Amino acid sequence: MRIQLSDHFTYKRLIHFVLPSIFMIICISVYGIIDGFFVSNYVGKNPFAAINLIMPLLMGMGTIGFMVGTGGSAIVSKTMGEGKKELANKYFSMLVWFALLLGIVLSVIVFLFIRPIAIAFGAKGELLENCVLYARILLCSMPAFILQFVFQSFFITAEKPSLSLKIQIVAGVTNAVLDYLFIAVFSWGLVGAAMATAVGQVIGGVIPVIYFTRKNNSLLHLTRTSFDGSILLKTLVNGSSEMVTNLSTSIVSILYNLQLMKLAGADGVAAYGVIMYVDIIFAAVFLGYAIGSAPVIGFHYGAGNRSELKNLFQKSLFLMSGAGIVMTILAELAAVPLVMIFASYDANLFALTVHGFRIYVLSFLVMGVNVWGSAFFTALGNGAVSALISFFRTLVFKILVIYSLPLLFGIDGIWFGVGTAELLALGVTVLFLVRKREYYHYV
């Protein structure tokens, strides 16, 4: 089924269009999950804790790609909706090369200072050495990882979400196969896990560059371009909400780990790592839908098609609300078998993780509406509102509950924290959706 941004979207057409984005997010997220599975079961609990301790930093750097991809795709899709296809390709090309250059510079800087950074995260002894080793290998592939996030948005804008999914599947399968060979067969331990992930990231980031550089039948091409500071600034501001979301998630994960080290030691960090692995898969439904639907919203907003904008708003709100209920029920039912994949070798860790997981997943009830609400305003070009929703949801409210709820409920306060923060953020999301409805005419 060929679906274009200019189409009228029924539920079936909308779901069909965003599904590749959902699976794409899952594929990208699989890198750390596969590493965690093999390291946890074949290498040991300490290296597993090291991955979980340093991963927030690496994912935080990847937020550059989210920022450029989501902020830039909103501008590019709006420009195409205005009928300026050549200009849209120039914007697209400039943003891709900017993301690559920035990724290289930051990777070099972090590579040089990774040891003091890991120490600041609370790592010491063997845990510190494992953090430094794992991070330095992945920093070599970080520019490609950043491009993965950039292209996942632009593939949708180019009306090629299925092609993007295929590339990410290839990258994910490569990562999984190499993890098995390097860890289970060759016994390379943590080095093998990092190398397998790095190869997968390079595949996922480089193939799109080759595709868009060569002649293709998509809406976008990498062409000769020039620097446009105003468009770059608008992209960064517009995409700042997605960067805030992902960067805040990394910061909060670091704070969670510090709190858990105090309350439960390495087992607490490992339990949180397992919960986050499973959380990524379920949350991919919300994030994938938000990313997949954003270019469509941006296109119709740029084209001045108010009726379709209303249609997309209503259907999206219904789908995200329903998905939240379904995801919560599924997560509760699957808690034991999912946790068993990562923590069956240690009874205490298993019990701690299952208990925390059952509380944590209650956050899925409202998470979808918040994630989509922020992306919705990004697609409309209102990066300020989008950033405010993300800022309160992923940073302010979560930091508040991380340090307050454990005082009342102990370690359970950590697990209740995310759901409480999401509930508070829902109020902010609804407030902006109501206040901006007449300005953007989506109701």
In this prediction, residue 241 carries a pLDDT of: 65
pLDDT, mean over the chain? 87
In this prediction, residue 1 has a pLDDT band, given cuts at 50, 70 and 90, of: low
User: Could you tell me if 416 and 409 are in contact, meaning their C-beta atoms sit under 8 angstroms apart?
Assistant: yes
Higher pLDDT, 153 or 213: 213
Q: Average pLDDT of 405-434?
A: 91
CA neighbor of 64 nearest in space, from 164, 160, 143, 157: 143
Per-residue pLDDT, averaged over 381-406, amounts to: 86
pLDDT at residue 35 tops 80:
no
pTM: 0.71
**Three-point CA angle 393, 142, 374, nearest 5°:** 20
Q: What is the full DSSP assignment across 187-252?
A: --HHHHHHHHHHHHHHHHHHHHHHHHHS--SSS---------HHHHHHHHHHTHHHHHHHHHHHHH
Task: Give residue-wise pLDDT tens across range 268-294.
Answer: 777 887 787 778 778 888 988 988 888
Half-sphere exposure of 92 (CA within 13 A, CB side): 31
Residue 203 half-sphere exposure, CB side, CA atoms within 13 Å? Answer: 21
- Average pLDDT for 373-400: 86
Extents of the domains making up the chain: 11-440
Minimal CA–CA distance to 298: which of 3, 20, 6, 2? 6
Counting beta carbons within 10 angstroms of the beta carbon of residue 200, is it exposed (0 to 12), middle (13 to 18) or buried (19 or more)?
Answer: buried
> What string of DSSP letters covers 350-408?
HHHHHHHHHHHGGGHHHHHHHHHHHHHHHHTT-HHHHHHHHHIIIIIHHHHHHHHHHHH
The two tokens of residue 133 are 């080793």
Q: CA 62 to CA 105: how far, in whole Å?
A: 13
User: In terms of residues, how long is the chain?
Assistant: 443
